Each structure stands twice: as structure tokens, then as C-alpha cells.
Amino acid sequence: MRAFWGLVWRDTVLAARIGGGFGLGFGFFALVIALVPLGVGPDPETLRQAAPGLLWLAAILSVLISLDRLFQADFEDGTLDILRLSPMPLELMVLAKVLAHWLTACLPLVLAGPLLCPILGLPVEAMVPTGLTLLAGTPALSLIGAIGAALSVGVRRGGLLIAAICLPLFAPTLIFGAGALKAAVDGTEMLTPLVLLAAQSLFALAIAPWAAAGALRVNMT
């Protein structure tokens, strides 16, 4: 476990230093949210109806643009080969890198999402549900994204391949996340879609480390 937390700390610090985690994803997320009223229009009711789907779509795209650095940089400089030869199981290594990715690319969205609600015409009461849905659903984005990132290791312009693999798999997260937030905005029961959203993250946790580790073994042979 010491090696596990050491790898989490290493990837978190590297992401913070190069700006690919905290800065890039958060900046893209905030910029998309800020531009939405310009495209949809200033009508509060129109913004309120479109806000749940637009907010979750912005979150998915923000996470997507940071996935190519999950394994590729370590593959290119040989670090991934060293990690593979270490006593730590490859599945645990994948889980450590996914956790670091969530901390640097997703946690800022969880914290910032509620603060950006007024831009989308959402009431103050929607701030807590926004944070809850992002907290429940973003782990699935990092875990599923790890599979796409592992499959694209060693491929030129792998970001396009990651997008092609991950975007269809992100659809259930988008549906349940936007559905839970819309239910909260409309004042109806949001527990069911929120539970389904959390269940999807748990399901991804059960399969993604092994699937990503298997893809890495194939691509590194």
C-alpha cells in the first residue's frame, strides 16, 4: 500500500505541475459553462431546462481531454515498464493512476460545479444536488476512461481513439447524471437516478482495473 499511495502522490504532483490536471480540465469546464448562455440564449427558463444535460456534457468533455496523459507519458519514457516489473500488481497500479486522475481532473469539477450553477440559471437549491451527482458519477468517468487510455497506449494520436472508445460508454453516466440533476431542479424524487449513478461507478470500479490492466499487458508485449 505504501507503493500504491506513493504512485497516487507522484501522479497528482505531476499533474499539478504540468497543468494537465487541475488547470486544463477545470478551465475547459468553466469556459464551456460560461459560453452556454451565449449559445442557448439568456432566457432563464430555457437555461434551466437545458442546464443538467449541458453541465454533465461539459464535465464529460473536460474529463475526456485529460485521459490521454493517464498512461501514455509513462509508456513513452519507460516508467510504465518499470511499474509493470515492480511487485505491485498491475491492477493496483491502474487503480492508483485512476485515483490520481480523479483527484486532479474530476474533484475540481465536483467542487466548482455547484458554484457555476447561477450561470446556467439554476437556483441556489440545486447547488448541493449538482455536487452530489458529480461526486457520484465522475468516478465512473475516470474508471471507464482508464480502459480507453490503456487500449490506446502506443497509438499515434491516441486521444481520438480514446474519444471513440469512451464516449459511447459515457452515455449511461450522462443519462443518469443529467436525470438526477433535472429531478432535483424540478423538485421531484432524485434518489433513484442518483443511486443508479453511484451503482455505475461501483460497477466500473469492479471491472475497470482488470480490463485496463489486461489491455496494458497486450499493448506492452
pLDDT tens for the chain, 221 residues: list them.
788 888 889 888 887 776 555 577 788 898 988 888 888 777 778 888 888 999 999 999 999 988 888 888 888 788 888 888 888 889 999 999 999 999 998 999 999 899 988 888 888 888 999 999 999 999 999 999 999 999 988 777 667 888 889 999 999 999 999 999 999 888 888 899 999 999 999 999 999 999 999 998 888 77
Model pLDDT, residue 161: 85
Instruction: Report the distance separating Cα 38 and Cα 49, nearest Å.
Output: 15
Instruction: Report the distance separating Cα 21 and Cα 111, nearest Å.
Output: 14
Count of CB atoms within 10 A of residue 194's CB? 23
For residues 36 and 54, the answer to whether their CB atoms sit within 8 Å is yes
Kindly state the helix (H) or strand (E) to which residue 55 belongs, with its residue range: helix 44-64
Model pLDDT, residue 20: 52
Predicted TM-score (pTM) of this structure: 0.90
Instruction: Report the distance separating Cα 6 and Cα 180, nearest Å.
Output: 36
Model pLDDT, residue 132: 94
The Cα angle at residue 206 between residues 203 and 211, in degrees rounded to 5: 110
Instruction: Report the distance separating Cα 12 and Cα 209, nearest Å.
Output: 18
Cα first-last separation, the chain:
26
Model pLDDT, residue 21: 53
For residues 46 and 40, the answer to whether their CB atoms sit within 8 Å is yes
